[in-house]
Amino acid sequence: MRIGMMMKWKVPPMNVRVSNEAGTLAADGHEVHFLVERRRGEPAEETVGSARVARGVEMSRLREIAHRYTFNFTFRDPLWARAVDRFVGERGIEALHVDDLPLMKEAVRAGRRHGLPVVADLHENYPAGLQVWYTNPLKKRTIYSYGRWSRYERDILRDVDAVIVVIEEARERIASLGVPREKILVVPNTVPAETGAVSIDDRVVGRYRGRFVVSYIGGFAPHRGLDAAIRALPLLRDAVPEILLVLVGGGDDACRRRLEALAREVGCADLVEWTGWKRQDEIWSYIEASDVCLVPHARNPHTDTTIPNKIFQYLMRERPVIVSDCPPLRRVAEDTGGGLVFDWRRPDELAARVVELYRDPARRRAMAEAGRRAVLERYTWERTAAPLVDLYRTLSARKAR
């Protein structure tokens, strides 16, 4: 089957989840084609990994600004509408697979015109995400209005053939919108089994030798809960003399500046290292150098119904985790035996969990082993991607009939 994946992102780099999906579908005999945006100087077509990429939409800076406002009021995009039609016709696309809400309406309209099934792949609670990704109150009341986006989500998901979500809590949320439960598939953000055998840079590991490293890897944003990690440091300076909080990532410069100011305010700037973004192949060395890894997300409707792949990366690499009490994080940490949970509003509770693990190396090792064992038994991508494979086998068989 020729599957057309539509994404607002620019490629490369390839999103880890999307790369896993494309590789799995290609291995099952499908052709995977991406329709993405084009940056200046990029080729219109390219092969990336196992997928063929068509860069069918190119926007100037002014066009992008205008698009942001017109799209958020109409949920329509004429450039993408024309690009999808060309994409389907030129590539012989037989199913459209759309990542997240923004392009869903154009995909559904194209699916109707061409008689194609449409699969909605929801990486997160997008309407709720808009409320935490952006801080401007006027924008959140207008172009990023929760009510408007929620209505759009509810209405458009009734018109797709299947909905893929990343965690069971998200399935319950989508079902509450009136989407038939049998249309909703759970495909978590797990990691391939081969993740356990990635190469490690000994120079990175050696740089932190002698420190008790608590690390976080991922994007910086207010909902990530990194303020709790920084506020915990004054409570750890004496209790864990070798403590070092290593923050690997970035993305929101304003958020980083606020976090740096907070570290200075609480008198612990010397206990935080900011590495900046690292390539996917580099992050494993930072995990290897860590004694404990964090997912300290602040609780809200967005974080309560999604899960990041970092928790599975940590566990696969045999590192105990400390997570906030967002339901999906709590469930995975407790189910695997690889993590401890803290109340996201209580930096002192986070500090207490770090001290527990610092004082008990045997417990750290036991949790690390339990977490890795559970991931290999239940949470590898090869196991959890089965509903995705079955879905496209069903769609392919339906087309053949």
Highest mean pLDDT among 10-19, 66-75, 90-99: 90-99
- pLDDT given for residue 157 in this prediction: 97
Q: Is the pLDDT reported for residue 199 higher than 80?
A: yes
Q: Which token pair is 216?
A: 């976080």
Q: For 285-331, what is each residue's pLDDT tens digit? A: 999 999 999 999 999 999 999 999 999 999 999 999 999 999 999 99
The pTM of the full predicted model, rounded to 2 decimals, is 0.93
Q: How many residues comprise the chain? A: 401
pLDDT in tens, 273-283: 999 999 989 99
With pLDDT > 70 as the criterion, what percentage of the chain qualifies?
100
Q: pLDDT tens digits for 17-49? A: 999 999 999 999 999 999 998 888 888 898 888
3-state secondary structure of 133: helix
Give the model's pLDDT for residue 345. Answer: 96
- As beta bridge partners, residue 216 has 247
pLDDT band at 135 (very low <50, low <70, confident <90, very high): confident
pLDDT of residue 334: 96
193-374 CATH choice from 3.40.190.10, 3.20.19.10, 3.40.50.10860, 3.40.50.2000:
3.40.50.2000
- Report in angstroms the alpha-carbon separations of 100 from 6, 169, 254: 9, 17, 25
**Angle 351-306-154 from CA coordinates, rounded to 5°:** 145
Which strand ranges, in their side-by-side order, compose the sheet holding 184-186? 45-48, 51-57, 31-37, 2-6, 95-99, 118-121, 162-165, 184-186
Share of the chain above pLDDT 90, in %: 80
Looking at residue 111, what is its pLDDT?
Answer: 97
Chain segment 45-74, per-residue pLDDT in tens:
988 887 899 998 887 778 777 877 788 888
SS3 of residue 29 by DSSP: coil
- Amino acid 73: pLDDT: 83
Can you tell me the distance from the alpha carbon of 256 to that of 177, in angstroms, rounded to the nearest whole number?
Answer: 36
pLDDT of residue 337: 97
Q: Report residue 243 as tokens.
A: 């403590």
pLDDT attached to residue 136 = 87
Q: Please, which residues bridge with residue 273 across strands?
A: 246
Q: State residue 69's pLDDT score.
A: 78
What's the pLDDT at 57? 85
Query: pLDDT band for position 401 (50/70/90)?
Result: confident
pLDDT mean across residues, the chain:
94
Query: Looking up tokens 């192949």, which residue turns up?
Result: 281
Comparing 2-187+385-400 with 193-374, is the CATH topology the same?
yes
What pLDDT score was predicted for residue 104? 95
Q: Structural domain boundaries of the chain?
A: 2-187+385-400, 193-374
Give yes or no for residue 187 having a pLDDT over 90. yes
Return the CATH number of 2-187+385-400, one of 3.40.50.2000, 3.40.50.970, 3.90.1150.10, 3.40.50.11540: 3.40.50.2000
Q: Give me the sheet containing 272-276, strands edge to edge.
A: 272-276, 243-250, 212-219, 292-295, 321-324, 339-342
Q: Which pLDDT band, with edges at 50, 70 and 90, does 240 fall under? A: very high
What's the Cα-to-Cα distance from 77 to each of 63, 70, 101, 383, rounded to whole Å? 11, 8, 13, 37
pLDDT of residue 248: 97
